[in-house]
Amino acid sequence: MSENLNRLAYFVAIAEEGTITAAAARLRVSKAVVSKQLQLLEDDLGATLVLRNTRHFHLTETGEAFYEAARVAVVQAKDAFHLVRKGRDEPSGELRITAPLDFGIAYVAPAVAAFSLLYPALAIDLTLSDTRFDPVEARFDIAFRVGWLEDSANTARKLTGFSQVMIAAPSIVETFGMPQTLDDLARLPFIENRALKTRSKLTFTDERGQIRDITFQPSVSGDTTQAVLAVAKAGGGIANMPDFAVVNALETGKLIDILPEFALPSGTISAVFPPTPYRSAATRKFTDFFFDNFRQEYRRSNNTEDGL
């Protein structure tokens, strides 16, 4: 038996309209198409659903019973299409987001709080971790990346760029003196960030464009940027940090920018998505919402509009 579910819609229209002609007008097809679909449906079922001649048209007892079941199926199918189309336009269901710990606390979590109030039908699952999850394998709708994107089948939308700075607490400078050269810098206690791909070997570029690699001997190693920053603020050593994570501490004097004339590689902040041709309304609207709010906050905290 060939179970063509489209024929249910034809049969329901026939039953509700009372004639082949009216059903054809409702479905916007020819009478011949409706008659053919009814015949094929009856052939599939091996049963007569409609008794008809030139003057009379009515459902058989089997047709009446089949109509009740078919009507429910057609309504449920329409509801299913409506549900998907509504989800395409209005955020609902679940939205899974991941972001690095420091960036997530500073920017993503506040945006999630504000967005959740706008769309109470949406359930947001937020994971903040310096572990780089694969969005497909871990089933994340949005994965924020701070640093350098890896080649993959995932798609990405760049938010902005950021700079790295070498920082230290004032107590480090008081104890060891302000370094004047990279060799001086290499002798200071260094806090390694295990969340970074390049942990203790850093590349510096001077004002003339000359490049030099420095390998540090870590005195402390942390597994998150937040942990490294906390140790640095407590005077545990020097560390390389993204500028957005330390801008306030630098402005208030809690941290000092060490050898700013030697630049570290800059990076990007991006939103990464699974490689799907269609993104849910929740994914699209949260991404736009976050980008708009982040740009405003980033300008305020960094007092710049570069790259935004």
Q: How far apart are CA 84 and CA 75, in angstroms?
A: 14
Q: How far apart are CA 29 and CA 23, in angstroms?
A: 9
- Kindly report, as residue ranges, where domains of CATH 3.40.190.290 are found in the chain: 164-265
Burial of 254 (0-12, 13-18, 19+ CB in 10 A): middle
pLDDT in tens, 127-182: 999 888 889 889 999 999 998 887 677 889 998 889 999 999 999 999 999 999 99
Instruction: Provide the pLDDT confidence category of residue 3 given band limits of 50, 70 and 90.
Output: low
pLDDT > 90 fraction of the chain, expressed in percent and rounded: 57
pLDDT > 70 fraction of the chain, expressed in percent and rounded: 92
Question: Which DSSP category does 148 fall into?
Answer: -
* Mean pLDDT, rounded, for 113-130: 93
295 has pLDDT over 90: no
- Give the per-residue pLDDT at 89: 64
294 has pLDDT over 50: yes
197 has pLDDT over 90: no
From start to end of the chain, where are the E strands? Answer: 50-52, 57-59, 93-99, 122-128, 142-147, 155-162, 164-168, 190-193, 201-205, 211-215, 218-222, 239-242, 256-257, 267-273
- Kindly report, as residue ranges, where domains of CATH 3.40.190.10 are found in the chain: 93-160+268-302
**CA atoms within 13 Å, Cβ hemisphere of 142:** 30
Fold of 164-265: D-Maltodextrin-Binding Protein; domain 2 (3.40.190)
The domain over range 93-160+268-302 is classified in CATH as 3.40.190.10: yes
pLDDT in tens, 202-251: 999 999 999 999 999 999 999 888 899 999 999 999 999 999 889 889 99
**CA atoms within 13 Å, Cβ hemisphere of 43:** 8
The CATH architecture that domain 6-89 belongs to is Orthogonal Bundle (1.10)
